[in-house]
Amino acid sequence: MDHFHYLNGQLYCENVPIQELAKQYGTPLFVYSQATLLHHLRSLKKAFEEAKPIICYSIKANGNLSICRLLGEHGAGFDVTSGGELYRALKAGPKGAPIVFAGVGKTAAEIRMALDAGVLLFDVESEEELWTIGRIAQELGRRAPVALRVNPDLPPKTHVKTDTSVKGVKFGLDIETVVEVARAALGHPGLELMGIHMHLGSPILKTEPYRQGAEKAIRLIEQFRQQGHNIRYLNMGGGFGIHYRRDEAPPADAYAQAILPAIRATGCQLILEPGRFLVGNAGILVSTVLYRKSTGGKHYLIQDAAMNDLIRPTLYGSIHRLWPVRLPPGVPDRPPLDMNINPDQGNPFLDFEGSLRQDVVGPVCESGDFLAKDRPLPRMEPGDLLAIFSAGAYGMSMASNYNSRPRAAEVLVTDATHRLIRRRETYDDLIACEECCLLPAGRSQ
């Protein structure tokens, strides 16, 4: 569910016209719906209500402080994967919010920072990391709370670049050896093994992998407890799918039905790490059409959002719905259900004047700079606004300054009000960290 809708041919976020936001803040522009964010958080809480889960928002999906603070104020903790994300979590608050620290490459400085911050758990990805955390904790006179991240070796279930629980990836400890690692950690003065972490990847559009992973977790928890570890937490990660095309993802309670039996069987406290599920459909990217071009038998729509703003289509071959902000006469208020449908077959969604297949591309100097390929779209004119949907997750958080392009502004909408939560970068911002290296004119080093 999201709170983006058309009214009288105009796209709205909640009760604010997108055209008004683009006029005030410019494009490219990320627009987020507060109602959508909180709806998805509530739906997750309700689905898993029986387990009273600790929900740790995965900051890597979208680290904007206002979004983190909003979710924190409504009961979420945070899942972080770097010192920078930990810094964001601590800034966003509220004080005492549970934080889990994942990631395969935690540095010694980040480990100390996390120990000082009092994180709930370190999700440990390798033996050497485990001993490093233990050594640093011991030096500080502490015991580090850890969960071993297990790679359950499940069949492929999502894109190869985001599937984290198949054999041969960098994440987690092999399920064949993790029991021995746990045994070796028993009695370590700097470690307290308290849980199992089993994040499977993202986005996962079926519930069966969660059922399989949870069943393996039950057996491991039993073995760890037999060794003498007080296992209190089962962290099933995140990765729940969202609606990129339309209605392809299961509801939250379907995931709950797959996971909750493991909580009943073990009595563990459940931890979830949703990111995309909360923020993905809560955001859109708005762009302005610059030019149209036809060459080599293809039609191109050139607009001012690019791969540096939303890299997912280029990086993962991902599909994002996109549609005009202001609908031409006779154009339906949603794109075709099947993004790849043949327009020559008389699909009613495409029976309007000027419809044609177009590659939607940006200004970046790369052939890989596209937001959609061969997509049926109505005719659009220079100056028209385009909405790229489901851009709330891994849009701004993966944005860059490639081609020296300032990053976009971000706006949060609440009912009929809106506020800027990140200003648009300027050209001065692009070189702000480099100015100390500049020499006076006419001098050489």
Residues tagged active-site: 365
CB 65 within 8 A of CB 92: yes
CA dist 212 and 48 (Å) reads: 18
Confirm whether residue 316 is marked as ligand binding.
yes
The single-letter DSSP state of residue 445 is: -
Is residue 335 a known part of a binding site?
no
What is the DSSP code string of 324-351? Answer: ESBPPTT--SS--SSTT--GGG--GGG-
Q: How far is CA 56 from the centre of its chain?
A: 13
Tokens coding 339: 């993004």
- Main-chain dihedrals φ then ψ at residue 110, nearest 5 degrees: -70, -40
- Distance, in Å, from the CA atom of 149 to the CA atom of 125, rounded to the nearest integer, reads 5
Pairing of strands 370-377, 356-361: antiparallel
Task: Report d(CA 191, CA 143) in Å as an integer.
Answer: 5
Q: Which residues of 323-357 are buried (b: 16+ CB within 10 A; e: fewer)?
A: bbbbbbeebeeebbeebeeeeeeeeebbeeeebeb
DSSP state at residue 130: H
Ligand-binding site membership of 233 (annotated): no
- Cβ neighbours of residue 229 closer than 8 Å, sequence gap 6 or more: 182, 185, 186, 193, 194
Alpha helices by DSSP H, listed for 118-251, are: 127-139, 178-185, 208-227
Q: Is 129 annotated as a binding residue?
A: no
Between CA 365 and CA 351 the distance in angstroms is 34
Q: Is 276 annotated as a binding residue?
A: yes
β-partners of residue 198 are none
Using CA of residue 318, residue 319, residue 320, residue 324, what is the dihedral sign? positive
Q: Which sign, positive or negative, has the C-alpha torsion 256, 260, 262, 268?
A: positive
Q: How far apart are CA 19 and CA 386, in angstroms?
A: 10
Is 118 marked as a binding-site residue?
no
HEC readout, 97-126:
CCEEECCCCCCHHHHHHHHHHCCCEEEECC
Annotated binding site for pyridoxal 5'-phosphate: 239, 273-276, 394
Annotated binding site for substrate: 276, 312, 316, 366, 394
Annotated binding site: 239, 273-276, 312, 316, 366, 394
